[in-house]
């Protein structure tokens, strides 16, 4: 027996999501089939608004509904301390620790096996941002002439470490590794291969506190 095309299309759409196999996709589809119409329409509206109403912050590249996100636009934040993370979920995890600096979201890590190089993620934008803060170039959204610290908080995987080393190398090549700029790596409170977004608040807090300078 063939399923109606509308069900098949939704099942195939769910299967494109990470961690969702055919059986899970079928269960989700039939669950939604029995949703009240009003709730289903609200769900569809939320999905439609996901791309329509969100953008990347022009400064840190985190997800936002405005050109400058709430963190970058908060005057209480320490603009001279930037934590570099792989994805937005990592920044949300670090927010739970009470961190009061700002972020830079790469939207990925360097992963040659999956054809992800430095050009595919927001490393150049990070280097330009640091250069602007350090007084190397002008940058309209930056109001401070110096920066204290860049904390690289990519995951403790081979790809995360390679990304951290590449960023440090690029900062050195631009002459941004000393003087006004300090480059640090979060401490190994996280297990090797562990993801930042899944770590608990205490572990993340200790990893930030125990960070070490990259020489």
What's the alpha-carbon Rg for the chain, to the nearest Å?
A: 20
Which DSSP letter does residue 151 get? E
Q: What is the pLDDT of residue 101?
A: 93
Q: What is the pLDDT of residue 185?
A: 86
Q: What is the pLDDT of residue 55?
A: 94
Instruction: For strands 149-152 and 182-185, give the pairing.
Output: parallel
Q: What is the pLDDT of residue 120?
A: 95
Please check the confidence at residue 198 and state whether its pLDDT lies above 60: no
**Contact, 147 vs 181, CB < 8 A?**
yes
The residue ranges of every structural domain in the chain are 5-12+22-52, 74-213
**Contact, 133 vs 80, CB < 8 A?**
yes
Please check the confidence at residue 193 and state whether its pLDDT lies above 70: no
Instruction: For strands 149-152 and 81-85, give the pairing.
Output: parallel
Please check the confidence at residue 27 and state whether its pLDDT lies above 90: yes
Could you read off the pLDDT of 13-25 as tens digits, one per residue?
999 999 999 999 9
Q: What is the pLDDT of residue 187?
A: 67
Could you read off the pLDDT of 93-144 as tens digits, one per residue?
889 888 999 999 999 999 988 899 999 999 999 999 998 887 754 455 555 5
Q: Which CATH number does 74-213 carry?
A: 3.40.1360.10
Q: Show the tokens assigned to 140.
A: 């309209």
Q: Which residues pair with 64 in a beta bridge?
A: 55
* % of the chain beyond a pLDDT of 90: 51
**Contact, 149 vs 81, CB < 8 A?**
yes
This prediction's pTM: 0.78
Please check the confidence at residue 213 and state whether its pLDDT lies above 70: no
Q: What is the pLDDT of residue 89?
A: 92
Please check the confidence at residue 212 and state whether its pLDDT lies above 60: no
Please check the confidence at residue 32 and state whether its pLDDT lies above 80: yes
């Amino acid at each position: 027996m063939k399923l109606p095309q509308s069900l098949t299309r939704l099942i195939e759409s769910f299967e494109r999501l990470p961690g969702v196999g055919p059986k899970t996709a079928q269960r989700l589809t039939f669950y939604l089939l029995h949703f009240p119409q009003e709730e289903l329409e609200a769900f569809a509206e939320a999905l439609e608004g996901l791309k329509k109403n969100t953008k990347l912050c022009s400064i840190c590249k985190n997800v936002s509904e405005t050109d400058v996100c709430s963190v970058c636009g908060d005057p209480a934040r320490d603009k001279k301390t930037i934590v570099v993370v792989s994805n937005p979920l990592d920044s949300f995890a670090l927010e739970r620790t009470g961190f009061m600096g700002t972020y830079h979201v790469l939207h990925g890590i360097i992963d040659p096996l999956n054809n992800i190089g430095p050009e595919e993620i927001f490393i150049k934008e990070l280097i330009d941002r640091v250069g602007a803060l350090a007084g190397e170039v002008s940058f309209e959204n930056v109001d401070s002439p110096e920066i204290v610290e860049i904390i690289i908080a990519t995951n403790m995987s081979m790809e995360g470490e390679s990304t951290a080393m590449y960023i440090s190398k690029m900062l050195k090549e631009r002459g941004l590794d000393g003087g006004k700029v300090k480059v640090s790596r979060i401490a190994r409170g996280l297990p090797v291969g562990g993801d930042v977004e899944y770590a608990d608040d205490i572990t993340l807090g200790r990893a930030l506190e125990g960070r070490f300078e990259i020489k």
